Amino acid sequence: MFSTIKIKQLKFFNFLTTKKTINSFLLNFFGLQIFRYLLSKFIYFLLGFFYSEKKMQKYYKNGYLMIDKFLSEEKFLKIKEEFNNIIEKEKKGRNTYAQNYLEKNSSINYILFEFEDNNENKILYPELYSLYKDKKIYNFFQSAERKKKVMLYMRLERVITNDQLKNDANSHWHVDTFHNTHKAWVYLTDVKKKNGPFNYLKGSNRLSIRRLIWEYYNSIKNSIDKDFTAFFTDKNLSKKLEENKIEFDCEKNSFLIANTHGFHRRGDAITGQIRDSVSFYTRENPYKFF
């Protein structure tokens, strides 16, 4: 009896977690997702009184920030070398010391390596490990989250374009979740139109009535339609929205941080093109104050 009540309570408090939507038609009908969205925005606003950086004002407003020539030339080359070593092992399926994935579909081949904070990685890949512990990067995420302590994750990503069907999910406009959440990349290859630059809708990270309605729609549809993928939309945008589209074509060794609560997509690339990056991300609970 006690455990049943406990489980029910846990389910009820799911709405104060990072769970993208709550699977209850009735609660969503009465506006639970709207409440979650607004509360997360309000707490983020309050946190701004304690933790708001001047250098990040543009980031808070636009949802992205880019810096070129981010690492020293020497450090960049060492990181690229360690990155290639790991990816080559991944491809041959010989990487056994950490979680690894090889995701395939017809349009892209996505080699992804979660770089964990452990002694083995520290010894085998000292440059990548020091990038993971880089204070400047950590500081960007503290300011983005408006929190002193954040849990930062790092992964290595190689995206190879297989064909022109452009059918991988992330090439559709989408948002990662209903609250502010952040992702950054250090690009190891040039990112031009041909290898699929990151696309972002400037300012779509900010509170809006349009988004509020969309959150409501997503929550309702998600609770009645099992095949529905919440938070994803079309490849094309209305002409008006298209005006706010930023395509981040940049040189290698550029650093980009974006609030992926805003609308974004992976740009379409030409067959055979490769895009390498070291990416960083957080998924902090928006209701946690400090």
In terms of C-beta distances under 8 Å and separation of at least 24 residues, what long-range contacts does 14-19 make, across chains too? 16/285, 16/287, 17/285, 17/287, 18/177, 18/179, 18/283, 18/284, 18/285, 18/286
Closest CA to 153 of 179, 177, 174, 184: 184
Is 176 or 268 the residue whose CB approaches Fe ion more closely?
A: 176
How many residues lie near Fe ion (CB under 5 A)?
1
Is 44 or 232 the residue whose CB approaches Fe ion more closely?
A: 232
Q: What are the structure tokens assigned to 87, written together?
A: 């990816």
Least Å distance, CB 264 to Fe ion, is 6
Is 127 or 176 the residue whose CB approaches Fe ion more closely?
A: 176
- CA of 80: how far to CAs of 155, 248, 266, in Å? 14, 21, 22
Least Å distance, CB 270 to Fe ion, is 21
DSSP assignment of 163-188, as one string?
-S----GGGS-B-S-SS--EEEEEES
Q: How many residues does the chain have?
A: 290
Least Å distance, CB 201 to Fe ion, is 12
Residue closest to Fe ion when measured from CB atoms: 176
Is 121 or 181 the residue whose CB approaches Fe ion more closely?
A: 181
How far, rounded to the nearest angstrom, does the alpha carbon of residue 111 sit from its chain's CA centroid? 16
Is 176 or 215 the residue whose CB approaches Fe ion more closely?
A: 176
Is 28 or 199 the residue whose CB approaches Fe ion more closely?
A: 199
Least Å distance, CB 24 to Fe ion, is 25
Binding mask 215-254 for Fe ion (x = CB under 5 A): ----------------------------------------
Is 24 or 170 the residue whose CB approaches Fe ion more closely?
A: 170
Binding mask 100-119 for Fe ion (x = CB under 5 A): --------------------
Least Å distance, CB 166 to Fe ion, is 16
Based on the shown chain and the rule CB under 5 A, indicate whether residue 176 belongs to the binding site for Fe ion: yes
Q: Could you give the CA distance from residue 166 to residue 118 in angstroms, rounded to a whole number?
A: 36
Q: What are the structure tokens assigned to 279, written together?
A: 């990416």
Is 134 or 176 the residue whose CB approaches Fe ion more closely?
A: 176
Based on the shown chain and the rule CB under 5 A, indicate whether residue 134 belongs to the binding site for Fe ion: no
Q: Could you give the CA distance from residue 127 to residue 67 in angstroms, rounded to a whole number?
A: 20
Which of 83-91, 93-101, 173-181, 194-202 is the region at the interface with Fe ion (rule: CB under 5 A)?
A: 173-181
Least Å distance, CB 183 to Fe ion, is 7
Based on the shown chain and the rule CB under 5 A, indicate whether residue 168 belongs to the binding site for Fe ion: no
Q: What are the structure tokens assigned to 83, written together?
A: 């990155």
Closest CA to 202 of 263, 146, 126: 263
Which of 15-23, 33-41, 104-112, 169-177 is the region at the interface with Fe ion (rule: CB under 5 A)?
A: 169-177
Q: What are the structure tokens assigned to 161, written together?
A: 């374009």
In terms of C-beta distances under 8 Å and separation of at least 24 residues, what long-range contacts does 117-122 make, across chains too? 121/97
Which of 6-14, 97-105, 161-169, 176-184 is the region at the interface with Fe ion (rule: CB under 5 A)?
A: 176-184
Q: Could you give the CA distance from residue 114 to residue 90 in angstroms, rounded to a whole number?
A: 11
Which chain residues interact with Fe ion by CB under 5 A? 176
